[in-house]
Amino acid sequence: MDPLPQTPQHAALELEKLAAEIAHHNRLYHAEDAPEISDADYDALMRRNAAIEAAFPDLVRADSPSRLVGAAPSGRLAKIAHARPMFSLDNGFDDADVADFLGRVRRFLALGDAEPVALTAEPKIDGLSCSLRYEKGRLVQALTRGDGQIGEDVTANARTIGDVPQEIAGAPEIFEVRGEVYMAKEDFAALNARLLAEAAETGKEARQFANPRNAAAGSLRQKDAAVTAARPLRFLAWGWGETASLPGGTQAEVIRAIAAMGFPVSDLFAGPVDLEGALAQYRKIEAVRADLPFDIDGVVYKIDRLDWQARLGFVGRAPRWGLAHKFPAERAQTTLRDIDIQVGRTGKLTPVARLEPVTVGGVVVTNATLHNADEIARLGVRPGDRVVLQRAGDVIPQIVENLTRGEDRAAWSFPTHCPICDSEAVAEEGEVDIRCTGGLICPAQRLERLKHFVSRGALDIEGLGEKTLIELLDLGWIAEPADIFRLAPHREELLGREGWQEKSVDALLAAIEAKRAPDAARLLFGLGIRHIGAITARDLLKRYATLPALQALADEVIALRDATPPQIGETETKHRARLDKAVAEHIGVENVGGAVGQALADFFHEPHNRAVWEDLLREVAPPPFIVETRESEVSGKTLVFTGTLEALSRDEAKAQAESLGARVAGSVSAKTDLVIAGPGAGSKLKKAADLGIRVISESEWLQIVATVE
């Protein structure tokens, strides 16, 4: 792992970047069923996030990736809150991790070394988690996991699954059975063959699923339950949610009671077992993994005693009483045919290996990610090489070894220009990723940038989903954000197209018109400028108020860069650090570093980006960004929040303080008037005590807010 950041400012910037990257991959995996990185790479991001938070506990926010589960529901289906959250499990990768897990349990429960700790062990099936709610024995609701707090309503769809009983006997009056909706390997292959045959008959483009997990998720999350009914879905129970009572006092007893009610449970469920028995079950399951009818990626251990589970509780997004012991990735050999370059929404150039087809873990693989130029150099891969391939986490294939590195062939060169728009492709200082500088003019980035522009966190234009954007792009009616606001003249043409009705066309145009005076921070965030996330956009506009003022700021930073050349003997890295510091001081916004100012300057330095910006501002007129404040006992005072806030996220707390006329600082100083401390508060709390600064709890803070409301 790379060295950790040395200052809270650098740590905060990296945590914000990690949060955005992890949220992106969560959405792809959980909401869009289209992951683009391996489980191993995702786990590495989460471990990096956890390490930084452990080093800087004051920076841990309630909406940190370490405290969230899955991703927000997609919006295609109705959203319903879970009666009890559907948390995910922490991961272990070897026997030592499992022993550490049991050690933590023993310490938390204050158990003696001789006191036995019983576990259950069962396969971790790779499907879509689903909660089935029964009231008086009848199925009344089915929800996907969603983000752990709110899931999607798939009740009608779940009723079509043969493994899901419509009625059960012997259950408590309220009983939620939780498990995995999946597609068996044979059924998956048959479904893809059927889709291919149907496409051949109709002449339409064939759409096939990448793997059984994507097929199951896509099939369950259909608006039309008839589509789900035509797909070979199955269900396997592994737990429960809300219940009026429990039909047993241990994990094993309740699972067996669930099986007795008519729910399928794994034949490989074992328990109660000790540590040795649990690891033996892991080996047993690993040995038969390839022969199982469904995909699995590990074994789940749970503390058997339910009273101990209740005492252990949860930490962040995961229970202390459970662990997922992941399998190592399966491997195979094949030949690298070619290396292609894909361009993403942010302009990142990602090399993709085109492979001689090979079966890995029951899936035919023809492509694999090569991540970046450094990875290609590390592997030394070139077209024609014999390579070792693995499906990391059984999802995204990756090359792990080059078997013909010593053969005398020319090295493969990473392109210096975007393969789509021919703009220069460069890497920022300290980054390995190479990005296209074409920005808003690059066709490869256009769809993703427009999707981001109209997304919920940005302009939130209802009706402009991916399918509609693709249609409008193909028609040539839109290419840049401003074009969205020039769609009204195409109304009659749109009405003449398949799938469009007067009601839907008028609703779309009305939704667009309603955004003619958008929130300035949302508009800025929607442009997708590097390093300017939703929070940073708000922080900038709280200081500069209008978008023209930000453009003027960018011009000032450009001038500052021109006036700050490298000094004699100064390295590029030191010059960049000196310049970043000067830019940050010029901006004068807390928690907004020089990298943000540089990114803003880079954006406006490109004439085509400036033209897109000016064109957009001819179509929309965002009012000045003003945080409305009310008089309160903290008006005009400087506040610091520290520790873990339990009722609020840091952003919510900061917004509350600003609405009461207070200023929120990131560190305690002699200028601090009040510290609001939650559990885990550390050095800031001590410094406040040393300086004699008043400290209150989160509940006391909420009382202050309530007196004003």
d(CA 318, CA 141): 24
| Contact (Cβ atoms closer than 8 angstroms) between residue 87 and residue 57 | no
What is the chain's length?
A: 709
| Contact (Cβ atoms closer than 8 angstroms) between residue 80 and residue 215 | no
Cis peptide leading into 57, omega within 30 of 0?
Answer: no
> Catalytic: 124?
yes
Q: Which residue shows structure tokens 């559907």? A: 86
| Sign, Cα dihedral of 442, 446, 449, 453 | positive
User: Would you call 447 exposed, middle or buried from its count of C-beta atoms within 10 A (0-12, 13-18, 19+)?
Assistant: middle
Q: What is the rounded end-to-end Cα distance, in angstroms, of the chain?
A: 47
Residue 392, CA distances (Å) to 26, 353, 358, 505 in order: 17, 15, 15, 44
Six token digits for residue 168: 């059960």
- What DSSP assignment string belongs to 410-435? PPPPPPSB-TTT--BEEE-TT---EE
For residue 302, give every residue at least 6 positions away whose Cβ sits within 8 Å of its Cβ, in sequence order, or none: 119, 120, 251, 271, 309, 321, 322
d(CA 272, CA 251): 8
14-17 long-range contacts (CB < 8 A, ≥24 apart) are 14/52, 15/49, 15/52, 15/53, 15/56, 15/59, 15/64, 16/533, 16/535, 16/536, 17/531
Six token digits for residue 607: 């004439």
Distance of CA 116 to the CA centre of its chain: 38
Residue 706, CA distances (Å) to 627, 647, 663, 701, 709 in order: 19, 14, 18, 9, 5
| Sign, Cα dihedral of 294, 300, 306, 311 | negative
Helix (H) or strand (E) holding 324: strand 322-326
d(CA 67, CA 29): 17
**Residue in 17, 124, 185, 687 annotated catalytic:** 124
Residue positions annotated with a catalytic role: 124
